[in-house]
Amino acid sequence: MTQKIVFLDRSSLAPGTELRRPDFAHDWTDHEVTAPDQVAARIAGATIVVSNKVPVGGAEMDAAPGLKLIAVCATGTDIIDLVDAQARGIAVCNVRGYAATSVPEHVFGLILGLRRQILGYMADVKGGKWQAAGTYTFFTHELRDLHGSRLGVVGRGSLGQGVARIARGFGMDVVFAGRKGDAAPPPDLVPFDEMVETADAITLHCPLTPETRNMFAAAEFRRMKSSALIVNTARGGLIEETDLTRALIDGEIAGAGIDVVSSEPPPADHPFMDLLGRPDFILTPHTAWAGHTARKAMVDQLIDNLDAFVAGRPRNLVV
């Protein structure tokens, strides 16, 4: 049987990313981008759908009666209605662990950029402030060292563990947070509220679920140290973005490094747009995962998933 494969958002892979073809007989169709109202028509005859960020729900699944597999070309599967997929007997798989080096390195790019005030001092030099001061050293922004500070990690999968390894190399005290609302987590975890209140930097590496949505909002920002940072390279919905914007403007926290937004790309009226240009805020366009080695590992794993499924040995199943 020839499998009909439809990739809904091929352009979500960085330019130059080579995607090998599966070993089985297939007819492959690439769409560079797909709008929500185009999904049903484009997958109508598909047996396998590949999506990175394009949502697929029950109505779209019903438009594809031959659909057997939705292969998510990412780790997070919140774009797929998993309940509807299970009810229709459609398998869902994802790719895992491919960015175990790329994401942690990006996290520390954000942390170092904020702690060493890279953006602020660059702006000062560009604006002529250093030159006008006439001194060999020039201090307009507070610098803080990582050594001896506490890093709170939410999520202890491969990405959280990768961040922890780098942090320990900097001499940081690393703690992994327990679940929010659990006052007595396992001994190797710190209660969530304690982590929020004691960490000098917090980094998020957990999936977006109904339980984790908006896990950081106004109450958490008020309890964080005023000198603390928050970094999010996981999912935009983990942070209440209006509350984060207000926390930065009001000085409740010292900085935020963000690689993911609840709506990507963010619209012109998104609250983060009011923060651009501030030295305490860095926004990157969902590129933490996208190192060259990580991209190759991701697409290779994607095709391995397809080959395994068609061969009757499905792997990385979520449903």
Domains of the chain, by residue range, sit at 3-98+292-310, 102-283
Determine the CATH number of domain 102-283.
Answer: 3.40.50.720
Task: Give bridge partners of residue 268 from the DSSP assignment.
Answer: none
Instruction: Kindly name the residue from 31, 205, 235, 295 that is annotated as catalytic.
Output: 235
Three-state DSSP class for residue 69 = strand
The pLDDT of residue 137? 81
In angstroms, the CA 7 to CA 189 distance is 40
For the chain, helix (H) and strand (E) counts, in that order, are 11, 11
Residue of 217, 306, 297 lying closest to 262 (CA atoms): 217
**Contacting residues for 201 by C-beta, under 8 A, at least 6 apart:** 111, 115, 149, 150, 151, 152, 228, 229, 230, 231
Is 286 known to be catalytic? Answer: yes
Hey, how many other C-beta atoms are within 10 angstroms of the C-beta on 268? 6
Is 264 known to be catalytic? Answer: yes
The pLDDT of residue 180? 95
The pLDDT of residue 75? 86
For 93, phi then psi, to 5°, come to -130, 165
Residue ranges of alpha helices (H) inside 57-207 are 58-62, 82-87, 102-115, 118-126, 129-133, 158-169, 192-198
The pLDDT of residue 121? 86
What does the angle CA 220 – CA 226 – CA 228 come to, to the nearest 5 degrees? 75
Determine the CATH number of domain 3-98+292-310.
Answer: 3.40.50.720
Question: For the chain, how far is it from start to end, CA to CA, in angstroms?
Answer: 23
Is 165 known to be catalytic? Answer: no
Intervals of the chain under pLDDT 50: none
Instruction: Kindly name the residue from 32, 142, 211, 264 that is annotated as catalytic.
Output: 264
The pLDDT of residue 105? 97
